[in-house]
Structure formats: C-alpha cells, structure tokens
Amino acid sequence: MARATRTPYLLIAPALIAMLGFLVYPMASVVYYSLQHYNVTKPWDNGFAGLDNFRTLLFEDPLFWQSLGFSVKWVAVEVTLQLLFGLALALIVNETFVGRALSRALVFSPWAVSGVLTTGIWVLLYNPTTGVSRYLADLGLMEYGAAPLADPDTVFSAAVVAELWRGVPFFAILLLADLQSAAKELYEAASVDGASRVRRFFHITLPHLKDAIILSTLLRCVWEFNNVDLLYTLTGGGPAHATTTLPLYVASKAAQAHDFGYGSALTTAAFLILTFFSIAYLRLSKFGAKA
C-alpha cells in the first residue's frame, strides 16, 4: 500500500526535479539578485540592497520607462499586423486553387529561417552599401546613402517590416490549422440561407478561430516583448535608444555594464508585467469559454 502511494511521486519526481532546476531555481536566483547590489567589476560595493534597485528603476531611471513604453508599442504594432496579415494569408491558402501547395510552402518558409539569419538578410537589405537603396540609386531612382536603420524617423518602420516577414507565417500556420477543422456544413447552410462571404467570415470563421487567436496572440505578445535577437542585431537598440526594448535594456545593463543586480531588478519587473498581462488577457478574452 505504502509502495503504491509512493510510486506516483517517484514517477513525477524527474519532471519535478527538472522544473525545480531549470525553472524555479533560475527565477528565484533572479529575484535574489534583484535585491542585491551585484556588479562583478565593483566587488567592493556588492551587498544587500533591499528595494534600492526597484526604487531606482521606478523613480530615477527614465530609460526604464522609455524602454518599457517602446516595448508596449512594439508588441502592439507587431502582434496586430502579424495577426491581420497572418489571418489574410491563412484564408487565402485555405481556398482551393492551382498552385496552393506551393503557395503554402512559400507563405510558411520565413518561419523556417533562423532568427539570426533573418536579421542578417535584413541588415544586408537595409545597408546603404550592399542593400536595395544602393541598387535603386545606381538606377537613378533615388539618392545614394539612404539608411533606414540610421534615421530615427524610419528605424521603427524598418524594424517592424523585418519582424513582420518572420512573424506573419506563425499566425498563418496556426490559423490555417484551425481553419481546417471548421465544419463545412455550417458554411453550406449559411450559403443556402444567402449569407454573404463577409457575413460567413464574421459569424462562422471568426468565432471558430477565437481560441486559436487568443492563444497565438498571447504567445506572440510574450515573444515579441522578449524579442532580443532581431532588434539587437538589426539596430542594437539605437540609434540613440530609439529601438531599445526592456529586454535590450536589461542586456545592456547586465551583460555590458556588468550590473547584474540592477539587471535582475529590471528582469523581475518585466516578469511581473508579463504575468499580470497574461492573466488579465486570458480573463478579459474569456479564453476557453463556449461561444
């Protein structure tokens, strides 16, 4: 009897140990360091900080608020545009037409390209020496030297386009998969009743996709909020902090300035913001509720 009671615990023990080691410990470690002054280049100043780091980020660090504001803007614009374009593409490649298989492959292909390679491609495309603007200038269509990543007025749009190229297929794949399970009879019945294409979309397709949209947008919001690879390689957060997201700011404080205490406080703040956002989003969107 005792053995029968122990067995389930033993069976889940490896998973539990892995979660403790790879999830709980790192998170607890970050929270611990957020309460410390910990800078490897200044060991003489290290020690317990209490809430000093949080006080600094809330009241004395305009860059925290600036990078948080930029992160929110980045997530809102990216996720909205990716969802709209992804939904449009999913609807198109869900139809029956000649060359559908090839179209689907082309639509999904950017998702198969690694993040670093994607940014490498876009860095070259935007580079005034090697990129598109150079060739357009050679043809006399524009002036030499246009550098969208160097101009604060264009850098945001340029980065958004690069990330869209990578992010749209994610929504297209997920939404197409869900579209495949939509009941054909509903569409047939609606057609018989004279419902237009638009009406069918809003009354059948969209309600059917609701949970997939909520889950994919939530995932994408978290991923875009934590996006480091594309912006770090493309702009480095610049020029002049114009594209610095909160994770990029964490990277510059912790990895470059070696201030791991303050970097941990920023990370803890980001974690709390994302947790609060995720709970609120799932509650407000009534995820999983029957339509």
Question: Nearest distance from residue 77's CB to another protein, in Å?
Answer: 21
Q: What is the dihedral of CA 172, 174, 180, 184, to 10 degrees?
A: -80
* CB neighbours of residue 255 within 10 Å: 11
Among 20, 29, 42, 51, binds another protein (CB under 8 A): 42
Among 149, 158, 162, 230, binds another protein (CB under 8 A): 149
Question: Nearest distance from residue 63's CB to another protein, in Å?
Answer: 9
**Per-residue contact string for residues 208-227; x = within reach of another protein by CB under 8 A:** --------------------
**Per-residue contact string for residues 234-253; x = within reach of another protein by CB under 8 A:** -xxxxxxx--x-------xx
Which tokens in the block code for residue 9? 């615990």
**60 interacts with another protein by CB under 8 A:** no
Surface-to-core class of residue 90, CB atoms within 10 Å of its CB (0-12 exposed, 13-18 middle, 19+ buried): buried
What distance in Å separates the CA atoms of residue 72 and residue 185, rounded to the nearest whole number? Answer: 41
Residue 283 belongs to what H/E stretch? helix 260-284
CB distance 243 to 235 below 8 Å? yes
**51 interacts with another protein by CB under 8 A:** no
CB distance 57 to 262 below 8 Å? yes
Q: Which stretch binds another protein (CB under 8 A): 3-11, 21-29, 86-94, 219-227?
A: 3-11
Nearest Cα neighbor of 179 from 216, 204, 215, 196 is: 204
**Per-residue contact string for residues 8-37; x = within reach of another protein by CB under 8 A:** --xx--x-----------------------
Task: Say which residues have a Cβ less than 8 Å from residue 150's Cβ, sequence separation at least 6.
Answer: 239
Q: Is 38 helix (H, G, I), strand (E, B) or coil?
A: coil
**41 interacts with another protein by CB under 8 A:** yes
Among 56, 94, 103, 127, binds another protein (CB under 8 A): 127
Residue given tokens 């264009």 in the structure block: 154
**40 interacts with another protein by CB under 8 A:** yes
CB distance 273 to 57 below 8 Å? no
Q: Which is nearer to another protein, 17 or 183 (CB)?
A: 17
**193 interacts with another protein by CB under 8 A:** no
Residues in contact with another protein by the rule CB under 8 A: 7, 10-11, 14, 40-44, 127-130, 134, 137, 143-147, 149-152, 235-241, 244, 252-253, 255-259
